[in-house]
Structure 1
């Protein structure tokens, strides 16, 4: 084994998971700069202090791979594409989305087979449904998968569809999106008539739901 090879495998797997080096270090039980310090020392030709078998086992667990693969490059190469669940969306709960590049989200799930034909340059993300505003279409606990086509705004083709929405305050919702009464405003409509519809809202972005699965049909990692 060489530390350079181990760090390369760490970087490759991090890219699959969409998790930052700092977030991975914390998840593995290291200091925030633990893996970064290993990399810097290795680049200088020094010994990566602290890169013990126990520490590497923690990193392997956080990456969802075996210790054998991480340390020696043999065994179960991580073939599954991993999708980060960026947060929860719902009706009345004001829940902020996570920055998956920094903290990896709430948890990760394996990419469902139904989405494999939809791979593109933009990553697939997911959220967990909270509340009953979209019943009976979506149930609490369902996992909704989406692709952000734009960094800001709403693509024309997503208007009128159920979407994941981040509002101007950074809160996340699952609502049907329709144009508001003025340019730049949108109606966020609940399919459940007993739940709140939010009229003339300013939003950061919206992306239509590409796939919805009950929690028991999703492989949680």
Structure 2
């Protein structure tokens, strides 16, 4: 059984086959800091980061320190998102400190984030409790390849939406088309970022940890 945090981290990496970078992406803990810990060159990590690292391996901190880690990678649920008038704000959980879900088969966990659908405003396409997986290729901005697709977006006021993204009337503005035909569309909206939905997982398939 590992005796120190460094030993537990090294054991978890070797047991699961996961990379230091994937843990950095899943937790928000800087890659260079984790790399030094993995090499045994630094034992410095605060309690919050240690907890996040343990959670990234699919269990509790106690499980992690005892060497009981899951070979199945998990993905952080960043928060909840809606499409109607009452839209939750992103980042409901601090830096990955929220529920984790087993990575769906065939989906790489590197850089992937999930959000949970709230409410029925996206019926019949997405239902309450469903999970949407996406990857942000850039920290900010709207890549050209998201236009015309269903996306998870954050508008200029920091609110999260799931809409089809189309170009607006001028550069920097976008039209957000509702998935529910009876819901209102949004026109000429400024976006902080947009990312295509890579996978939709119905609520009954999601295995949270």
Query: Into which bin does the TM-score normalised by the smaller protein fall?
Result: 0.7 to 0.9
User: CA, structure 1 residues 196+62, in 2 after alignment: closer, same or farther (shift >3 Å)?
Assistant: same
Q: Which of 172, 175, 194 matches 1:187? A: 175
The equivalent of 2:164 in structure 1 is 176
Give the CA deviation at 1:95: 1.7
CA distance, structure 1, for counterparts of residue 133 and residue 165 of structure 2? 17
CA distance, structure 1, for counterparts of residue 131 and residue 150 of structure 2? 14
User: CA, structure 1 residues 5+167, in 2 after alignment: closer, same or farther (shift >3 Å)?
Assistant: same
Give the CA deviation at 1:70: 3.3
**Larger proportion of helix:** 1
The equivalent of 1:219 in structure 2 is 207
CA distance, structure 2, for counterparts of residue 78 and residue 107 of structure 1? 15
CA distance, structure 1, for counterparts of residue 138 and residue 28 of structure 2? 22
The equivalent of 1:6 in structure 2 is 8
Report which of the two structures shows the higher radius of gyration computed on alpha carbons: 1
1:147 aligns with 2:135: yes
Contact 1:9 1:70 in 2 (8 A): no
CA distance, structure 1, for counterparts of residue 119 and residue 179 of structure 2? 12
The equivalent of 1:109 in structure 2 is 101
User: CA, structure 1 residues 197+139, in 2 after alignment: closer, same or farther (shift >3 Å)?
Assistant: same
CA distance, structure 2, for counterparts of residue 141 and residue 150 of structure 1? 27
CA distance, structure 1, for counterparts of residue 55 and residue 152 of structure 2? 30
CA distance, structure 2, for counterparts of residue 69 and residue 131 of structure 1? 34
Report the RMSD for the aligned CA atoms in angstroms. Answer: 3.5
Q: Deviations over 1:1-58 (max 9, x none)?
A: 432413655896992782367xxxxxxxxxxxxxxxxx449xxxxxxxxxxxxxx9xx
Gaps of 5+ in 2: 14-19, 30-42
Contact 1:17 1:104 in 2 (8 A): no
Instruction: Give the secondary-structure state (helix, strand or coil) at the position aligned to 1:6.
Output: helix
CA distance, structure 1, for counterparts of residue 181 and residue 72 of structure 2? 39
CA distance, structure 2, for counterparts of residue 67 and residue 172 of structure 1? 31
1:127 aligns with 2:115: yes
Contact 1:16 1:82 in 2 (8 A): no
Q: Which of 18, 23, 37 matches 2:26? A: 18
Instruction: Give the secondary-structure state (helix, strand or coil) at the position aligned to 2:107.
Output: helix
Instruction: Give the secondary-structure state (helix, strand or coil) at the position aligned to 1:212.
Output: strand
Give the TM-score normalised by the residue count of structure 1: 0.69
CA distance, structure 2, for counterparts of residue 82 and residue 106 of structure 1? 12
Gaps of 5+ in 1: 22-38, 42-55
The equivalent of 2:32 in structure 1 is none
Instruction: Give the secondary-structure state (helix, strand or coil) at the position aligned to 1:64.
Output: coil
Give the TM-score normalised by the residue count of structure 2: 0.72
Q: Deviations over 1:172-195 (max 9, x none)?
A: 000010000111000111021221
The equivalent of 1:78 in structure 2 is 70
How many residues align structurally? Answer: 184
